[in-house]
Amino acid sequence: MLIKAPKNSDVSSSEITDETLFRQRRRFLRTAVNLALTSTIATPLFVPASARAGTKLSNVKKSAYTIDEELTPFEDVTHYNNFYEFTTEKRDVAEMAQGFQARPWTVEVNGEVHKPRTFDIDDAIKRYALEERIYRLRCVEAWSMVIPWVGFPLAKLLKDVEPTANGKYVEFTTLHDPERMPGQRRKVLPWPYVEGLRLDEAMHPLTILAVGLYGEVLPPQNGAPLRLVVPWKYGFKCIKSIVRIRLTEKQPRNTWQVNNAREYGFYANVNPNVDHPRWSQSRERRIGEFFKRKTLMFNGYGEEVAGLYTGMDLAKFY
Number of CB atoms found within 10 A of residue 97's CB: 30
Give the per-residue SS3 of the chain. CCECCCCCCCCCHHHCCCHHHHHHHHHHHHHHHHHHHHCCCCCCCCCCHHHCCCCECCCEEECCCECCCCCCCHHHHHHCCCECCCECCHHHHHHHCCCCCCCCCEEEEEECECCCEEEEHHHHHHHCCEEEEEEEEECCCCEEEEEEEEEEEHHHHHHHHCECCCCCEEEEEECCCCCCCHHHHCCCCCCCCEEEEEHHHHHCCCCEEEEEECCEECCHHHCCCCEEECCCECHHHCCCCEEEEEEECCCCCCHHHHHCCCCCCCCCECCCCCCECCECCCEEEECCCCCCEECCHHHHCHHHHHHHHCCCCCCCCC
Percentage of the chain with pLDDT > 70? 85
Each residue's pLDDT tens digit, 260-293: 999 999 999 999 999 999 999 999 999 999 999 9
Preceding omega of 225 cis (within 30 degrees of 0): yes
% residues pLDDT > 90 (the chain): 83
Rounded average pLDDT over 210-235: 98
pTM (two decimals): 0.86
Q: What is the pLDDT of residue 126?
A: 95
Q: Which of 302, 283, 300, 301 is nearest to 292 (CA)?
A: 283
**24-56 residue pLDDT tens:** 444 444 444 444 444 333 334 456 777 888 899
- What's the average model confidence in pLDDT over 228-239? 98
Which domains does the chain show, CATH number per domain?
A: 21-309 (3.90.420.10)
CA pair distance 203, 165, nearest whole angstrom: 14
Give yes or no for a contact between 98 and 54, defined as CB atoms under 8 angstroms apart. no
d(CA 80, CA 138): 13
**pLDDT tens-digit readout, 72-111:** 999 999 999 999 999 999 999 999 999 999 999 999 999 9
